[in-house]
Structure 1
């Protein structure tokens, strides 16, 4: 099999079952602070709302605050609930950022909301912040000893005020267990798309991205970068459809012949389109997806053999070989 296909050079095999994705949240609760940045809220809300419409599953929004009306930094008043409903561990809690500087406090949230953020994580829930929202997570005690990021203009302040937090600089977003933090403003969209991909698959995430016209994955050096999103900065429909198929079935032995047949084009046409648009081949694209997924599994505690088999490799040898070729660090 030549490199123009997507079957691994080790030969046919039956990969181990891929671990099931976590279910999408039944509810996404947004904590609204005075002076919040509208895009910090609207970006993730649009991603999750579009995912809900496209899938018919989960992501129902709710908005809470200490006052019924919250004035955004842009001057738009927002309505919020002040009688808070109990959260389930499967729910997602999102803390959008706010304007920092001048006379504003670093965290314009009271003790009750900070306690709610901490309690949700303590009961097994996932907490996400955008921009200055990381300061609320730190005040709630969730960043002690954890990796986190925020807007580049606020990184020094976060590190100064919360020295136990491990501030990761100049990246789009950081995942540390069930604590998700993103950088300034529009990076909340990147993190939200990544979360959709993790919970509901890359195909849905790519559909949401296309609906929002946000193909570009900024900052290719982000440690938590997504292969799927990093290679979506184009408008070639054939390559998008090929990526959808590979993203959804990356653990399978997909041959170039099979891909071309399902896409109803010739193998030559598909190979040329991939090379012209992405500068790579379907095989290498699939291998990148597998390496990334294996790295996530190793980071979650799996050994390299288990991770390799789960993503479709016969064993860890191929994974190690590909990691060396790409200049990556081989998992233990």
Structure 2
């Protein structure tokens, strides 16, 4: 049962904390049993929005499977704003050295920098703090105008709501994009992995809409993309006509249901081929009758 430990600083922004916490809580609701813990140097943590949070002062026992997230706090300048002591920064560093992932939202990147975790690594933070982060941690490679960056077990995100994007990305990396899409949908949010790289997942790339009928069709295709799925069966699953499903699906995603299924197949086949499978065997695994269609679709891509 992995733990997500949130390290809380005074004047933290509630959404910096609540966004990622909601993502991992949603994953737990979906059957991936994350335990959320909240740690601070003092038990009562005032937030920038006026609510005081009660946190534990004892760190949970962490393993390399666990995640530590440092939400950001209100600060016009980073210098002298976080107040984390040497012992806390050492805990961050030790968790990463043991193989664990350490992440931050917004100003939380400064805590990672003070722990030495940004040295030689790419990172980001809120656009208003990027210049100061680069000046305070000259060995860090600050990337501007992105939502998040992940580099060697150190994940940093930009301002406020981008913590949700980063948390969804971490969830997709650990459990696959289907779970991230499911959690994002439950949150009525976008499922996206557009940090500093192009979106690579068809499941996420075509889930950034709020059409419930189309999401239900996608749920069926996601679960059975290796099978033959006639349009009539997809339409029947949502109680609509075939032409209506095609029209709604294309309007919401930009492609037809068949193209979406093919994209999932090709994506899975590329994963298998990259790990040593032949084109022929990969085509068979993902549901193509032979390798010709897979080769044609890969060439088109």
Same fold (TM over 0.5): yes
Distance 2:300 2:117 in 1: 36
Q: Which residue of 1 is the match for residue 209 of structure 2?
A: 234
Q: Which residue of 2 is the match for residue 37 of structure 1?
A: 13
Q: Do the aligned partners of residues 69 and 153 (structure 1) sit closer, same or farther apart at CA in structure 2, a change above 3 Å counting? A: same
Q: Which residue of 2 is the match for residue 263 of structure 1?
A: 237
Equivalences for residues 1-332 of structure 1 within 5 A: 26-55=2-31, 57-101=32-76, 105-215=80-190, 217=192, 222-223=196-197, 225=199, 227-248=202-223, 252=226, 254-257=228-231, 260=234, 263=237, 267-286=242-261, 303=274, 309=282, 312=286, 321-323=299-301
Q: Do the aligned partners of residues 254 and 190 (structure 1) sit closer, same or farther apart at CA in structure 2, a change above 3 Å counting? A: farther
Structure 1 SS opposite 2:30: helix
Q: CA deviation at 1:201?
A: 3.8
The structure whose RCO (Cα within 8 Å, separation 6+) is larger is 1
Distance 1:174 1:287 in 2: 29
Q: CA deviation at 1:278?
A: 1.7
RMSD: 3.4
Q: Residue 168 of structure 2 contacts residue 192 of structure 2 at CA under 8 Å; is this kept in 1?
A: no
TM-score relative to the length of structure 2:
0.81
Q: Do the aligned partners of residues 259 and 155 (structure 1) sit closer, same or farther apart at CA in structure 2, a change above 3 Å counting? A: farther
Q: CA deviation at 1:93?
A: 0.8
- Which runs of no fewer than 5 residues in structure 1 stay unpaired? 1-24, 324-332
- 1:42-96 deviations in Å (ceiling 9; x for gaps): 11111211221232x3211111111111111222221111122321111111111
Q: Which runs of 4+ in 1 moved over 6 A?
A: 290-295
TM-score relative to the length of structure 1:
0.74
- Which runs of no fewer than 5 residues in structure 2 stay unpaired? none
Distance 2:78 2:180 in 1: 39
